[in-house]
Amino acid sequence: MSNETPYARLTPDLVLDAVTACGLWPDGRLLALNSYENRVWQVGLEEGSPVVAKFYRPGRWSDAAILEEHAFAQELAEAELPVVAPLHFAERTLLHHDGYRYALSPRHGGRAPSLESADQLEWLGRLIARMHSVGARASFAYRGNIDRTTLIAQPMQAVLSSSLLPSALRDRYRQAVERVNGLVAARFESAAPLRTLRLHGDCHPGNVLWTDTGPHFVDLDDARMGPAVQDLWMLAHDERAMEALLEGYASMRDFDHAELILIPALRAMRQVHYAGWIAARWHDPAFPAAFPFAAEARWWEQHITDLHEQADELE
C-alpha cells in the first residue's frame, strides 16, 4: 500500500467485504462520514441498526496505540459514560482486511451542542470531569503527550519540508513558529508541576453529539496524555462559557485553576499543528480538494500573522 495514496484501494466493495468478514450482512447502503485523517463509513445492515466502519490511516498509530484507545473507550463506557466504544469480534476490536486496519462501532447520531446554553455546558463539564476521573486511573504507554514536540516541532518540519510554503516566506514562518515555541515553553514552565492524565484529546463541538437524552462523545483518535484543561478550552468560546463548564466540572472533580494560563499556549499549538497537518497530508488527494487555500501564498502570509498574534497574547 502506497503511503502517497493510502486509501487508493479503499473502494465501497472493500468496505462492504470488511464488514461482511465480521459476520455481519450489509444491505449495500454506504454513507461516507466527514473524516480526513481516517476514512469512516456508515454501513447499513440487513438486520439491526447501521454500524460505523473506521479505517485507520496507515502509519499514523501503531497497533498497540490503537488498542490503547479502544481499551480507554471501553473503560469509559463501563464507567457508564456516554462514549462510543468499538465492537468486539472474536474478542478483537482492531480488525484487519486486505491490508487495512479498521474497527466497527455502533452508529450514534445527534446534533451539535448549544455552546450558548449554560445548562448544556455544565452538563458537559460534569461528564468531562467523570471522564478525567477514569483517565487519571492509569497512563497511556503508546499514545504520546500533548507537548511541543508533537504539536510544534514536528508540524513545523512538515511545513518546511513541503512545497506548499512559498520559499520567500520560509524564514518568516520559521521565526514565527520559533517565537511561539519559546513562549509556549514558558507558559508550561509557569504552570509546573503539571498533572497529566488520559484525555479525549480533541474535545471540540464536532466530537460531541447531543440527543434528547443528552450528549455523547465520539472519536478518541487523538487521545493522549495531557492537562485536564485540554478537554475544556475548545468548548468555551468566552469566559462565561468556561465558567459554566468549570461549575459543572467542579461538582464532580477538583480542577487546578492554574491550568487556565495554558489556554493561549494550547490554542497556539493547535494553530501550528493545523498547518503542519495539512502539509504532511498533502499527498492524500482528499486534502487538496478540502483545503485548496493552503496552496495560496496569501494563506501562509495570514498564517504567519496569526502566529505572531498568538505570540503577542502569550506575552
Q: Which three cell numbers stand for residue 130?
A: 467523570
Q: Is 21 helix (H, G, I), strand (E, B) or coil?
A: coil
Catalytic one of 17, 63, 219, 231: 219
Q: Which three cell numbers stand for residue 208?
A: 460531541
Pairwise CA distance, residues 142 & 94, whole Å? 15
Q: Is 17 a catalytic residue?
A: no
Residue 243: partners with Cβ closer than 8 Å, 6 or more residues away? none
| Phi, psi angles (nearest 5°) of residue 282 | -60, -25
Is residue 30 classed exposed, middle or buried when 0-12, 13-18 and 19+ CB atoms within 10 A define those classes? middle
Catalytic one of 13, 202, 284, 306: 202
Sign, Cα dihedral of 156, 161, 166, 170: positive
Continuous H helices in the chain:
12-20, 63-78, 118-135, 148, 154-160, 170-190, 239-250, 263-280, 286-290, 297-314
Residue 234: partners with Cβ closer than 8 Å, 6 or more residues away? 202, 203, 204, 205
Q: Which three cell numbers stand for residue 54?
A: 473506521
Pairwise CA distance, residues 89 & 226, whole Å? 31
219 among the known binding-site residues? yes
207 among the known binding-site residues? yes
Extract the annotated binding site: 207, 219
Q: Which residues are catalytic?
A: 202, 219
Extract the annotated binding site for Mg(2+): 207, 219
